A and B are shown apart, each in its own frame.
Chain A
Amino acid sequence: MGEQTYFHSVRLNKDKCTGCTNCIKHCPTEAIRVRNGKARIINERCIDCGECVRVCPHHAKEVVTDSLAALSAYKYNIALPAPSLYGQFKNVKNIGYILAAIKELGFDDVFETSVGADLVSLYIRRELRKGNKNGPLISSACPAIVRLIQVRFPELTDNIIPLRPPFEAAAMMARERWRRSHACAPEEIGVFFISPCAAKMTSVNAPIGNARSHLSGVISMMDVYGKLAAILSHQEKLTPLPVRSFAKGVGWARSGGECASVTDKDYLAVDGVFNVIRALEEIENGHLPELRFFEGQACVGGCVGGPITFENPYVARMRIDRFVERMTESGEDDHKSEPHLDDDSEMYFTEKVKPNPIMKLDEDIGEAIKKIARIEELCADLPGLDCGSCGAPSCRCLAEDIVRGYREEVDCIFKLKEKVRDLAEEMISQADREDKVRDLAEEMMSLADRMDVNKEETK
């Protein structure tokens, strides 16, 4: 079911997974369990934030993206570099050289995603003028945060600005520009986003708020980093391409950049998914009544900290800051024209962003109440060590899984020990009854099998 309705780009490489439980504790939506010695991602819960990609010591979590071979399906190909790409390389004189290097990868044109950011900024400013009645407007630019809100903050879905993210805006502009200048059909043009993260890949495969994406595919920044770094090491041989985006559009690469583009007051920018959760809780509590705009980004530092970027996010952020400074100081922005899209009907969501009710225990409130009472009982009974040995991130989470019917109490290693001891004692007391002892021994055997929690599936 999940596979069709919800396409994920974060996947598990079973061969590399050792079942070590590092990932389960770092998942902001409790979407991972270890069963039979392997991690499993629960499709309905995963928001593709990429935390598990970062934290896995065995690199068993992978981001599935398109390869450059996908370009062969189109007559023309346009690259849409995320502005975070500009922070990946050392000693680059200006962004124009990076754009020229991207073209060398086999693209016919390069269109800056930051131009899309400039356009989206204009639309957000318009939305901010309209205002909002219940709390701040929330940016829709980070797809992982939009999905986080759907899963963990259902009451805030109405606050999400119903605007498509910059890469969609840029894709529309890029295709339109090429179509006009080359008199070709839109289908002949492949538009590929060079992405710092998994969430945007997922957003292309299963857009939020719209039926389809304007992108033809997504290329991982990590996959092209090496090639681009090699080309840029001889940047004197390149002719830089003109930079069309404004400094502010480039600034979207790091946390706070979007805020700086759309407003100068009553805003809050937060980066890192767990920090965003804490900030959304404050908003949820009504503790920030003056707030009008909230920018949350799942990655530390913003997009420069994406799970499939190469450079250290702080270093990348510093380089973005330099580019933004130089662009601002040079006055080059004064000669640029504001981005524009003739048909902007596709700039907006056509469908409402709905809560994803995975936390619900039961459709019937009476049943749900019973289940909550049962969870509390189980929690009081479980050891409360949150050791992760059962494969769930916490005792509470195991209790919830038990109530949902996915696990049993003896999946807890401590409960299992107790059970074995009880059986052994019963065996001793029944020692004179051979049939009874045989039954008890069989039950113990089956528990012993279970005790080997990291045993791999034999099937």
Chain B
Amino acid sequence: MSEQILTEVFEVEAGDFVAAGAASAQIKRILKQLSVNSDLIRRAAIISYEAELNLVIHSLGGKLILRVMKDRVVISTEDVGPGIADISLALKEGWSTASDDIRSMGFGAGMGLPNIKRNADDFEIRSAAGSGTTIVTTIYL
């Protein structure tokens, strides 16, 4: 563990497509200002964008959080619900609970969580139907 920590918390509102992408854009800007390598930026960009959109599309609102330590970048989300009933199903490529409305906007392809997992070195998800979902992803520098 390293003592040098930067923490940035971004509030993300459910259904707010106007602001969608703003928080992950900030995260990208910060990472580009740090001395991290290009591959990490590429992976962190995908994770933070997918995570932010998940909050907008699927959650009732939550936070997107960036933590930077000397040896790692941690991107996590905490939302207030509605929770995921079957996590293993949600992690399957192509599986989505998105409504037709969301799908008609080009989202809900069921690639969000699998993409996040694929681009992270460590991936943790905690959720239950009726409660919030917490996702913690780590990329090592």
Interface residues of A (CB under 8 A from B): 134, 152, 154-158, 281, 284-287, 289, 355, 357, 359-366, 368-373, 376, 400
Q: Is the CB of B50 within 8 A of A361?
A: no
Residue from the set A154, A155, A362 with the largest chain B CB neighbour count within 10 Å: A155
Residues of B within 8 A of A366 (CB): 4, 70
Q: Is the CB of B49 within 8 A of A355?
A: no
A-B contact pairs, 20 of them (CB 8 A): A154-B32, A281-B25, A284-B28, A285-B24, A285-B49, A285-B50, A286-B45, A355-B38, A360-B34, A361-B33, A361-B34, A364-B35, A365-B70, A365-B141, A369-B4, A369-B6, A369-B68, A372-B30, A373-B6, A376-B8
Q: Is the CB of B46 within 8 A of A157?
A: no
Q: B128 at the A/B interface (Cβ < 8 Å)?
A: no
Using a Cβ–Cβ cut-off of 8 Å, how many residues does chain B contribute to the interface with A? Answer: 29
Q: B92 at the A/B interface (Cβ < 8 Å)?
A: no
Residues of B within 8 A of A156 (CB): 42
Q: Is the CB of B6 within 8 A of A284?
A: no
Residues of B within 8 A of A370 (CB): 4
A360 to B29, CA, bound (A): 10
Residues of A within 8 A of B68 (CB): 365, 369
What is the chain B residue whose CB lies nearest that of A281?
Answer: B25
Q: Is the CB of A360 within 8 A of B35?
A: yes
Q: How far is the CB of A272 from the nearest CB of chain B, in Å?
A: 19
Leading 8 A-B pairs by shortest Cβ distance: A285-B49, A286-B46, A155-B42, A155-B38, A155-B41, A369-B6, A359-B32, A368-B34
What does DSSP make chain A's interface, helix, strand, loop or mixed? helix
What is the chain B residue whose CB lies nearest that of A154?
Answer: B38
Choose among B8, B34, B39, B50 the residue that contacts A155 (Cβ–Cβ < 8 A).
B39
Q: B36 at the A/B interface (Cβ < 8 Å)?
A: yes
Q: Is the CB of A134 within 8 A of B42?
A: yes
A50 to B68, CA, bound (A): 36
A372 to B67, CA, bound (A): 12
A371 to B119, CA, bound (A): 27
Residues of A within 8 A of B70 (CB): 365-366
Residues of A within 8 A of B25 (CB): 281
Residues of A within 8 A of B42 (CB): 134, 155-156, 284
Q: Is the CB of A365 within 8 A of B35?
A: yes
What is the chain A residue whose CB lies nearest that of B7?
Answer: A373
Can you name 6 extra interface pairs (CB under 8 A) apart from A154-B41, A369-B4?
Answer: A155-B45, A281-B21, A284-B42, A361-B33, A365-B35, A372-B30
Residues of B within 8 A of A285 (CB): 21, 24, 45-46, 49-50
Residues of A within 8 A of B6 (CB): 369, 372-373
A189 to B116, CA, bound (A): 56
Q: Is the CB of B45 within 8 A of A365?
A: no
Residues of A within 8 A of B49 (CB): 285-287
Q: How far is the CB of A440 from the nearest CB of chain B, in Å?
A: 38
A289 to B25, CA, bound (A): 19
Residue from the set B5, B36, B119 with the largest chain A CB neighbour count within 10 Å: B36
What is the chain B residue whose CB lies nearest that of A354?
Answer: B38
Residues of B within 8 A of A361 (CB): 33-34
Residues of B within 8 A of A155 (CB): 38-39, 41-42, 45
What is the chain A residue whose CB lies nearest that of B36?
Answer: A365
What is the chain B residue whose CB lies nearest that of A159?
Answer: B42
Residues of A within 8 A of B127 (CB): none
Q: B115 at the A/B interface (Cβ < 8 Å)?
A: yes
A154 to B29, CA, bound (A): 11
Residues of A within 8 A of B32 (CB): 152, 154, 359-360
Q: How far is the CB of A343 from the nearest CB of chain B, in Å?
A: 33
Residue from the set A152, A157, A359 with the largest chain B CB neighbour count within 10 Å: A359
Name the interface residues of B1-30: CB closer than 8 Å to any CB of A: 4-6, 8, 21, 24-25, 28-30
What is the chain A residue whose CB lies nearest that of B29?
Answer: A359
Residues of A within 8 A of B46 (CB): 285-286
Q: How far is the CB of B111 from the nearest CB of chain A, in Å?
A: 8
A376 to B35, CA, bound (A): 18
Residues of B within 8 A of A157 (CB): 38
A184 to B4, CA, bound (A): 65
A208 to B45, CA, bound (A): 26
Residues of B within 8 A of A284 (CB): 28, 42, 45
Q: Is the CB of B35 within 8 A of A368?
A: yes
A435 to B82, CA, bound (A): 68
